[in-house]
Structure 1
């Protein structure tokens, strides 16, 4: 089959369909699935869960790990890539001492509710700090919080918000604005890129998965965490989660070549962030892993900012009427920003995913 023939089977219309398709594909492929049920429900009362599908020997020395929906609404991309892995027969590429672990919908609440945040309202990839220590400060966000997520969406309020953001950009520069907006903040629970007041359910679930599947006991674990929203339309950038000079970064560069982006070196579409999952993986696996966030571009960052602004505003109003016209408009806007419903974008997602997975398998054989 050509890659185009996989599109309709890999990508889903909503979280419930994505989960159904993933579980069906995993069952056909003989995968062993462990389910971690979220205590909340979806917008239509559906069960929310993170499903971890294991393929290969239980004592495998080398493990490919894929993760979808770290950022909820971005899950359409990663789920599609995971389902494609099963449908395309990719398990045939596993070596004798190699296994694959597909973590589907790590943040099922955000996936189902079309939100980037978790059920606690926090950005999961800012949530991995040590909350027993002082949290990182973000004075730029403190200054702009009322403009980033204003109390209303009327014309006058939005103009005042945009004027304040424009003035901040003019005074401090674009780099400082992006850091203020999205590097991570730990004070304003109603605002963007909030890292939380403590470990989220999704973070605790990933910790449990690492323990349950004994990933710390493997010779090498290679993680591909699927994301969307940054970079050129449809291009998948493997963003290195390791710090410059580390063994992990050296392996990542050798595995994926010159397309690797490193936020700390200014060579990525992403900026350096607080509280990413690197802090968890480093604590659990030390140097015995590699990690890339496979980031697919969609539209401009300002378009994404507007989509997030309206979604946060909506949920700040209290209980959400899922069928209200305003809800539908806002949800369609954020969904289309993070997962363009276009066959050409879907095709680019699968092509690049297959390439990155192939490079990962070669790297596991070489370094594991």
Structure 2
């Protein structure tokens, strides 16, 4: 297959080629214009939903890319690669395939993880009508995470400071306070916002309109970063002793048992406002099951450094062009490496994953959900 089609990292080119690819295979495309943002050259920004199969299917495979903006190319690559080998004549008549391209189009277009409001979309799926959660650990870490100068974000400098801080509060507490999200500092890292983002509202519209009559939905949110370089890594929010969790773990050959080990401190952060948690609530009318897939790129400390660089650039929009280009190039290489072995691994692992999940959905179905989950 054409490598430019598979591995495009320019938002406009990637969007056009993805939509054209799907249309040629009979996909139904709906495009959602973001009225609040433009691309780097003033272009309109869209989230695109592609559906294969009947409207209002009984069963649905629902895949999301671009929650964290510039991570979209990996999900997009996985979708194209799988669809290219899929036998559409074998698509079960009661089953729909859904692919969301760039749910955060601003982040993809501008090569940032966050939205047009510097919001980490994966901390924004929550109610904003009442008091927002406080994060005193973040408040304490803020001078370290959001320095004024780039020199303080050099890897060796930042790592040394984080290690010193961890001696006082432990890595587990540090990572939890850093990663779980905060709702106080709009120019900081892991900012969850003060209101629902356009991207969050758009996803809710899509889910309720397209999946509202489904009986079974298997959902996957596609990311990069966490995990060993070139290997798939998973996060599942279902209760560990639930049939859903056990089935996901079995289908993934026990890989969920390694999830906590992927975080410094050996414990998953207590995330706020996760997309996956809200998606599960929107689908409460049906049997549903899902998880996050990450394709590993760097270690946790490097991820922290990348998040800080992204936030620094958002706080310093008047930086010189060379600085902007260098930081964006670093971020892109971090979250979507231009490395053939890594790309090959993404193709193989994502294809195997989608084959496995599709087979489970159409042949065995999904387990019932306990009321207490």
TM-score by length of 2: 0.89
Q: Does the residue aligned with 2:269 lie in a helix, a strand or coil?
A: coil
Residue of structure 2 in register with 1:58 after alignment: 55
Residue of structure 1 in register with 2:96 after alignment: 99
Do residues 357 (structure 1) and 339 (structure 2) align?
A: no
In 1, are the aligned partners of 2:56 and 2:212 still within 8 Å (CA)?
no
Do residues 279 (structure 1) and 277 (structure 2) align?
A: yes
Q: Deviations over 1:86-139 (max 9, x none)?
A: 322354553221110000000000011111111121111111122223322221
The 1:157–1:16 alpha-carbon spacing in structure 2 relative to 1, beyond 3 Å, is closer
Residue of structure 2 in register with 1:205 after alignment: 202
The 1:93–1:245 alpha-carbon spacing in structure 2 relative to 1, beyond 3 Å, is farther
Q: Deviations over 1:60-99 (max 9, x none)?
A: 2110111110000111101111222332235455322111
Q: 1: distance between equivalents of 2:43 and 2:85?
A: 29
Residue of structure 2 in register with 1:189 after alignment: 186
Q: 2: distance between equivalents of 1:216 and 1:285?
A: 7
In 2, are the aligned partners of 1:72 and 1:105 still within 8 Å (CA)?
yes
After TM superposition, the structure 1 = structure 2 runs for residues 36-51 of structure 1, keeping only pairs within 5 Å, are: 36-39=32-35, 40-51=37-48
Q: 1: distance between equivalents of 2:248 and 2:88?
A: 22
Residue of structure 1 in register with 2:22 after alignment: 26
The 1:233–1:38 alpha-carbon spacing in structure 2 relative to 1, beyond 3 Å, is same
Q: Deviations over 1:136-162 (max 9, x none)?
A: 222111101111011222459999866
Q: How many residues end up aligned between the 2 structures?
A: 359
After TM superposition, the structure 1 = structure 2 runs for residues 1-368 of structure 1, keeping only pairs within 5 Å, are: 5=1, 7-39=3-35, 40-89=37-86, 91-92=88-89, 94-154=91-151, 164-213=161-210, 215-261=211-257, 266=260, 269=263, 271-286=269-284, 288-318=287-317, 324-365=321-362, 366-368=364-366
The 1:163–1:299 alpha-carbon spacing in structure 2 relative to 1, beyond 3 Å, is closer
> Which aligned runs of 4 or more in structure 1 are off by greater than 6 angstroms?
156-161
Q: Does the residue aligned with 2:227 lie in a helix, a strand or coil?
A: strand
Q: 1: distance between equivalents of 2:120 and 2:348?
A: 28
Q: 2: distance between equivalents of 1:157 and 1:65?
A: 39
**C-alpha deviation, 1:282, in angstroms:** 2.8
Comparing 240-249 with 203-212, greater Cα deviation is found at 240-249
TM-score by length of 1: 0.90
Unaligned 5+ runs, structure 1: none
The 1:91–1:237 alpha-carbon spacing in structure 2 relative to 1, beyond 3 Å, is farther
Q: Deviations over 1:30-64 (max 9, x none)?
A: 11101111121111222211000000111321101
**C-alpha deviation, 1:313, in angstroms:** 1.3
Q: 2: distance between equivalents of 1:134 and 1:239?
A: 28
**C-alpha deviation, 1:193, in angstroms:** 0.8
In 2, are the aligned partners of 1:7 and 1:347 still within 8 Å (CA)?
no
